[in-house]
Structure 1
Amino acid sequence: MVNYWRGVWGFVDLSGITLRSAGLTTAISTSVLVISRGLCNSPAPPLLTISDLGREDYFKITTMYEIQPCPSLRFYMDSCFSVVFIIGFVIAQWRGLWTLMDLLLASDDAFRSAWLSVVAGNILTIFLFIIQWPVMYLARQMRRVPQTKVKSIALLVIEDLLTLFGTVASVLVWRGCWYLYDQCLIVDDTELSLWVSHGAAVVIGLAILHYQIFIHAGLLKDGQVIHSGESTFFNTKFITNFIHHAVNANTKTLAKNQQNKGALYVEEENSLITENMTNTTSLNTKDAVRKM
């Protein structure tokens, strides 16, 4: 995934690091993603969390059209379309937004630009977290209206707008953190700084059981989130994931213990019945011997 991002990003950079190039890249890639209904794959942390807990489909990666894995041309075409086309334009969109921020956000002061990016990204993220509940409530009310083309388009527009702002927030946060690490984390030894950054990310990702967040684990199609019935738009249930996992694990343990107790009770009851039958048979045998 890193190689693919680096390659596509580098190819787009060949068009030039200018406002015109960045603007066209952002506009074209966003338009293509909207038309292909793949825009919802653009946001990233902090607006997205993927827990490693309780996942039976950990190694299952969904494609755009959700064709089941099989040795068929349709599956291979779906996979190629998902990776090359959708993810490719997501990378181009990120590159365009990133370059626009480089050129417009305090371009004469890298340190100030990085801090502005982090602050702006987090403010926008908090704002999106706040408005997602009323937006999803509005979507639920709209879904109760009889199905019409206007309603479907309106819901899709709402989702795309939230997604687009979420993408901007994600790029702002990533860009700011990236540049701050460059300027603050072991600046005298670039190689050591990179190793420390990489190692810390791996350890923390494994420790908090959210390592899958580092990879692109499948795709969604625009319209799935707004029609999902969830009360939140962005999947950021970090603490909730741990609570649900703990509750589910405790429930399974209790059920297993009760099942084991039930099996033990049945086994003890069968043992008592067998013992009684043995004793009865023994007494009958003794009585028969005495009579003889």
Structure 2
Amino acid sequence: MRGSTAGLADTLASGSRTHAALLELADAAFASTVVAPAVVTYWKSTWTLMDLFVLPDSPVASAAACAAFGLTCGLLFCVFQSQLSKYLNPDRGRLTYYVLSRGYTYVAAVACVGAWRGVWNLLNECTGDSARTLLSTTAAATLSLAALRALRNICAAPFAVAVDAPQDYFDVPTMFRTSSRETALYVLDCVFSVSVVGSLVVFVWRGSWALLDIFLFPGDPLKSCWSSLIVGYALVVATFALQAPVRWAAARLHGAPRLLLADVYHLLSFFATVNVWRGVWGLLDIYFFPDTPKLSNWCSHAISICLLILLNCSNSILVRGVYIDAEEPAGECVVFPCHYLRIFFHKERTKKRHKRALAAAAVATARKSEDAVLPLQNSDEKV
């Protein structure tokens, strides 16, 4: 669910430390209060609409249909990502690119929700919802992801904001980073990344969420949701506050200790994330037109996707790609990819520098022209 921060620190490092710290704080606040609620609202509304319209009288068939649709689309988008990047880019027409790329995001987002809903509900049907079963499946999935060095993929908004940038809009990193030229291996890599790693992430989320349902005020949904929201945002603040010391420690560790520190830190961010998601999700059910679920969820669906598209971070909805634990150098492995405002200001600074450089070049050219004309004028005067 999250991207890599490799190279971002060097790219965005400019200005005073105070200015950089304020932008980092603003990015964290924006991700937590704007992007995360919008992403959760989209997922909740789309999930509920599937409950209402996709074979509602047959839970197993409904789950299987959603899983088949979602996983198939996810696999196709992964396999053909190079072709999408090649043929869909601003050079072929900005308006065409914008419409088609956002259409891609919309279809991919529906597919992501469908895949998660399908796997989640099929697991419910197959294993039940007892606390012991939930604990065992969640622990097994968590350990499996840790063994694959893919535990960071359980993180989501507010700890990940994907800006809709053209250069990597369709990129879907695979587990083994095989080249698309190695056709057979590449397809197998895509299948493993989408089906195995993706399903393990669903197992962890489903188990954690269901355990909160069981142990956190199970008889009082309103109190349970508010508790999740408060605990979640308290952990969000604590996690962001710990980023500087954890980054400092990770930069001084190597090998297994560094990997362990990154995994523990990502687990803390996941506990915050799942509580925030559960709180927002449940409160939407309780407060936002509870008596008219179709109206409520269609409105939520449309408003959230439009808001994220207008904010240029609609790809934050998507669950795609496999990112490797501690793959970035030094302490960058524990930096969350929440660089929305920093990227915006960096682009503005780059534009201003470019304009100043062009103006300076124009002035230099004008001066050279004047210097070339002056000798000719002097010679004419002598004649």
Shorter-chain TM-score above 0.5: yes
1:220 aligns with 2:332: no
Question: Which consecutive unaligned segments of at least 5 residues does structure 1 have?
Answer: 143-150, 281-292
Gaps of 5+ in 2: 1-111
| Identical positions, percent | 28
For 1:72, the equivalent position in structure 2 comes to 183
Say whether the 8 Å CA contact 2:251–2:330 is kept in structure 1. Answer: no
Given the two structures, how large is their TM-score scaled by the length of structure 1? Answer: 0.83
Which of the two has greater helix per residue?
A: 2
Are residue 248 (structure 1) and residue 248 (structure 2) matched?
no
Equivalent residues, number: 269
Partner of 2:238 in structure 1? 127
The 1:232/1:29 distance shift into structure 2, 3 A limit, reads closer
Contact 1:26 1:97 in 2 (8 A): yes
Partner of 1:163: 266
1:186 is the counterpart of 2:289 = yes
Which stretch has the larger CA shift, 115-124 or 57-66? 57-66
Q: What is the match of residue 285 of structure 1?
A: none
Q: With structure 2 as the length reference, what TM-score do the two structures score?
A: 0.64
> For the residues of structure 1 that align with 2:195 and 2:330, how far apart are their CA atoms?
27
Give the direction of change, closer, same or farther, for the CA distance of 1:67–1:228 in structure 2 (3 Å limit): farther
Q: Which amino acid aligns with 1:175?
A: R
- The 5 Å alignment of 1:33-112 reads 33-53=145-165, 55-70=166-181, 72-112=183-223
Could you tell me whether the CA contact under 8 Å between 2:120 and 2:202 is conserved in 1?
yes
Partner of 2:335: 233
Task: State the Cα RMSD in Å.
Answer: 2.6
Query: Which of 2, 5, 21 is equivalent to 2:133?
Result: 21
The farther-off stretch of 256-265 and 65-74 is: 256-265
Q: How far apart, CA to CA, are the structure 2 residues paired with 1:213 and 1:159?
A: 22
| Aligned twin of 1:175 | 278
Change (3 A) 1:232 1:157: closer
Output the CA distance in 2 between the equivalents of 1:32 and 1:205: 33
**Cα offset, 1:259, TM superposition:** 5.0
Question: Secondary structure, in 3 states, of the residue corresponding to 1:219?
Answer: coil
Cα distance in structure 2, aligned partners of 1:117 and 1:13? 22
Secondary structure, aligned partner of 1:56? helix
For residues 6-53 of structure 1, the C-alpha deviation after alignment (integer angstroms, 9 at most, x for no partner) is 111111111112212211121011011011111011100111111224
Cα distance in 2 between the residues matched to 1:66 and 1:256: 40
* Worse-superposed segment, 227-236 or 162-171: 227-236
Bigger Cα Rg: 1
Q: Does 1:203 align with 2:314?
A: no
In the TM superposition, residue 140 of structure 1 has moved relative to its aligned partner by 1.5
Measured in 2, the distance between the counterparts of 1:216 and 1:96 equals 18
Q: 1:31 aligns with which of 138, 143, 162?
A: 143
